[in-house]
């Protein structure tokens, strides 16, 4: 039996024979592309995915209140509730693991900047800082600085491997961007860029949608696609070959993220966690953010819509929300746990369904862009592995120090936009300077423009020799001597120029 005959048989079996309806009129090259699309789809598997998706759409949306429990104290660590000696202990353990080459970073960077008003990957977005650094550059330089801090602490130098998961739309631009900028000072072999998978889009009656006569309509399988991609793209094999044991996973669009945070790594390692999540305290009961809690004695992220208002407003004796652990897509995994997910549980992850307006070709081969939802896209979420953890921990951090999302353009939303991201970074860096004994002068009522290169300081350390007992006039940019001097800088009022830092 030829390959085409075998494909036809499978398509008929799962009621998808329409995929080949234009076979006789498309070109040879187009036939090759269509065959490649079909080869990349496990028709039996995606047909079962559709059945699961339809079942979830038809659920009655019952609330989870009676099955919900808050995070038990023994699993709920916190920056605020930890002593200085405890934090130092966690940080030192994290730095030791980094110096041994056991720490890697999983960056979820599959999103395009559509909501930001740009057509390139989010990681390439210029937030408008004085340095004009992109999200990718900021995070790369935090890795470099952390490697140096680990070396200074242990006397042993090693690398943090940076695994960057892209999508079909962002893979090539990301590779070209990193190559153009010489990997921002990192070793090329320690930046591993790979692509997440795609899932076909379906009509509501279970037909795979055709985007063109020769092309199946597909969409990225969500940030939860990271587990299948790690397995199928050989990334888990690469981690084990390098001796990477601990991974810090996060999304690309958090400008304040502490990449490979040694405190978080150390806390999880010393407590024997196989999976962990950083959280921030919810601002109010109605904040539209998922909360980490327990459902049926297993850890999960529960969306605000899945519980009643009464439960969302429930408070403890100290007046804080009972269900306050806001999820920020910032996680810890052991490589062993990721292997377990890939081998045993990936096909058991929940499928989340979204009704979408999906371009399609009709039976005459005409392509249309629908005005209302005409099908579904399916995706998996990164946090849906929490129930499979044997020792899950949460680590609560201060929002103003570690979380400021960049999702929208200034024109379409008044939060999570470039202005709020810049201002949150400026405010944090101002606090770093003040904590180091310096002062900043700026116009009354304005947010001081203050940027500290990650190559100068990872999290506020080492600034005393630069700013103690000095008054700096905004705008301020502290740079490392190795950085190009292509940005104007305002001198401190004491006459000490910051151009050399």
CATH topology for the 65-402 domain: Spore Coat Polysaccharide Biosynthesis Protein SpsA; Chain A (3.90.550)
By the 10 Å C-beta count (0-12 exposed, 13-18 middle, 19+ buried), 272 is classed as exposed
| Measured distance CA(454)–CA(397) in Å, rounded | 20
- How many C-beta neighbours within 10 Å does residue 290 have? 21
Confidence of residue 64 (pLDDT cuts 50, 70, 90): confident
Confidence of residue 238 (pLDDT cuts 50, 70, 90): very high
3-class SS at 40?
coil
| Measured distance CA(51)–CA(109) in Å, rounded | 29
What architecture is the 424-478 domain classified under in CATH?
Answer: Ribbon (2.10)
Write the pLDDT tens digit of every residue in 358-393. 999 998 999 999 999 999 999 999 999 999 999 999
Write the pLDDT tens digit of every residue in 93-124. 999 999 999 999 999 998 888 888 888 999 99
Contact criterion met (CB below 8 Å) for 258 and 459? yes
Residue 105, pLDDT score:
98
**What does the pLDDT average to over 142-163?**
98
Q: Which helix (H) or strand (E) holds 209?
A: none
Confidence of residue 58 (pLDDT cuts 50, 70, 90): low
Sorted by where each begins, the domain ranges of the chain are: 65-402, 424-478
| Measured distance CA(368)–CA(211) in Å, rounded | 9
Residue 446, pLDDT score:
78
């Amino acid at each position: 039996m030829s390959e085409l005959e075998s494909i036809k048989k499978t398509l008929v079996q799962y009621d998808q024979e329409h995929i080949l309806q234009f076979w006789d009129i498309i070109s040879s090259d187009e036939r090759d592309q269509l065959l490649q699309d079909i080869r990349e789809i496990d028709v039996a598997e995606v047909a079962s995915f559709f059945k699961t998706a339809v079942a979830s759409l038809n659920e009655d949306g019952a609330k989870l209140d009676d099955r919900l429990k808050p995070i038990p104290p023994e699993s709920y660590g916190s920056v605020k509730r930890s002593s200085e000696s405890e934090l130092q202990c966690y940080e030192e353990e994290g730095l030791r693991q980094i110096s041994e080459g056991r720490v890697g970073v999983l960056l979820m960077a599959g999103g395009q900047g559509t909501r930001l008003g740009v057509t390139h990957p989010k990681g390439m977005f210029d937030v408008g800082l004085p340095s004009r650094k992109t999200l990718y550059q900021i995070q790369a330089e935090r890795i470099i600085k952390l490697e140096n801090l680990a070396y200074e602490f242990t006397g042993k130098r090693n690398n943090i491997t940076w695994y960057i998961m892209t999508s079909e739309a962002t893979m090539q631009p990301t590779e070209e961007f990193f190559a153009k900028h010489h990997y921002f000072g990192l070793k090329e072999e320690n930046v591993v860029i790979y692509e997440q998978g795609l899932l076909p889009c379906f009509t509501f009656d279970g037909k795979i949608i055709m985007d063109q006569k020769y092309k199946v309509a597909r969409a990225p399988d969500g940030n939860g696609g990271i587990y299948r991609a790690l397995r199928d793209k050989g990334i888990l094999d690469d981690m084990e070959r390098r001796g990477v044991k601990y991974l810090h996973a996060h999304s690309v669009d958090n400008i304040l993220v502490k990449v490979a945070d040694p405190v978080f790594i150390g806390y999880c390692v010393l407590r024997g966690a196989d999976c962990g999540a950083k959280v921030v305290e919810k601002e109010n009961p109605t904040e539209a953010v998922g909360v980490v809690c327990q459902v049926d004695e297993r850890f999960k992220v529960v969306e605000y819509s899945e519980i009643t208002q009464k439960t969302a407003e429930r408070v403890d004796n100290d007046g804080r929300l009972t269900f306050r652990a806001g999820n920020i897509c910032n996680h810890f995994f052991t490589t062993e746990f990721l292997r377990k997910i890939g081998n045993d549980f990936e096909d058991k992850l929940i499928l989340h369904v979204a009704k979408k307006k999906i371009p399609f070709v009709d039976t005459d081969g005409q392509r249309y862009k629908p005005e209302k939802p005409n099908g579904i896209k399916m995706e998996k979420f990164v946090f849906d592995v929490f129930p499979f953890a044997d020792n899950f921990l949460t680590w609560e951090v201060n929002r103003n120090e570690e979380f400021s999302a960049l999702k929208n353009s200034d024109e379409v939303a008044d939060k999570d936009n470039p202005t709020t991201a810049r201002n949150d970074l400026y405010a944090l860096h101002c606090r770093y300077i003040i904590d180091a004994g310096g002062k900043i002068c700026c116009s009354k009522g304005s947010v001081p423009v203050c940027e500290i290169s990650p190559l100068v300081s990872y999290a506020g350390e080492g600034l005393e020799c630069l700013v103690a007992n000095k008054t700096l006039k905004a705008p301020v940019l502290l740079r490392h001597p190795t950085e190009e001097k292509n940005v104007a800088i305002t001198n401190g009022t004491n006459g000490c120029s910051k151009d050399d830092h």
